[in-house]
Amino acid sequence: MHHIIQSICCEKFTWKTTFGFEDAADTAVLSGALWSVKALVVTFLQKRTNFTAKPIIKVQPVFGEKKLDIDFQCIFSIKLGHLINASKYVFFSKPKEVRRHV
């Protein structure tokens, strides 16, 4: 399965978030936290898949008003041959025997 995950291509990745709270301090704190979460997610995906285009990530805080708008778009592709090989492995491989230490 690891080989299949590595053969996935991310052709487009856009994640834009516009948000706000009435309290500007809450908005500022969440803005930093949101950047951290987005960076972790994108780094995780970049280590496991191939990105053919640079990911677009934006966090737009709106101070003094309640607002939440999320725009998330992604296109992933995989070659059909990789799926066929993976399905052969899944359907025709024998399950590993579990050893118990007694």
Span 9-62, pLDDT tens digits: 999 999 999 999 999 999 999 999 999 999 999 999 999 889 999 999 999 999
pTM: 0.73
Strand 9-20 relative to strand 56-61, pairing: parallel
Burial zone of 20 (CB within 10 Å; 0-12 exposed, 13-18 middle, 19+ buried): buried
Q: Considering only CA atoms, which of 51, 55, 97 is closest in space to residue 77?
A: 51
| Cross-strand bridge partners of residue 73 | 14
Over residues 70-95, the mean pLDDT reads: 81
Cα(58)–Cα(34) distance, integer angstroms: 10
